[in-house]
Structure 1
Amino acid sequence: MTFKTLARIGLVAIFGLGTLGAYADSIAPIQDYHYGQHLDVKKVVAIHDHNATACGVVVAEMDYLDSKGQPHSVQYENYATGACHDGG
């Protein structure tokens, strides 16, 4: 590999990591969802829950982008059934 190739790879890696940090800084704090609350959801980015390891009401979290592309995170109660029938 030539020096130019290595320099290009290094620059791509550095700038790529910089954009990840900027995205992490732009995420809003987690808000609690209340029944009937309007959410402007354009795209769901991720859902975090404990359905596989719990039985009953658990707190789940949804990360999403609104219609303007701004990231948001909301937590809500969800009923998990993943571990309800472990005994047979």
Structure 2
Amino acid sequence: MKVLIALGCFAITGAALAAPGVPEAQDYHYGQKLDIQRVVQPADLSFCGIREVEMVNEDSAGQLHRLRYPAWGQFCVNEG
């Protein structure tokens, strides 16, 4: 029973943290045509290595999109 309650709390918390009006993340596929007029929330690259990140952008029609794609982090200590 406690597990179900904990899972319910996580689901509610996750929904509350999602930006209002922004749809679920869509995975980027190589060669996909993107219509990005403005970046609303850039991806957080404060990590080391490769990981999936998300960016929120607005297209030329004013619609918001959340795009998920792999990126290389910018905080690797032993590079260069």
* Count of paired positions: 61
TM-score, scaled to structure 2: 0.65
Within 5 A, what are the aligned runs for 1:1-88? 24=20, 26-49=21-44, 51-52=45-46, 54-85=47-78
User: Which segments of 5 or more consecutive residues in structure 1 lack a partner in the other structure?
Assistant: 1-22
TM-score, scaled to structure 1: 0.60
Judging by fraction of residues, say which structure has more helix: 1
Aligned alpha-carbon RMSD (Å): 1.9
Runs of 4+ in 1 over 4 A off after TM superposition: none
**Shift in Å at residue 84 of structure 1?**
3.6
Percent identity of paired positions between Structure 1 and Structure 2: 36
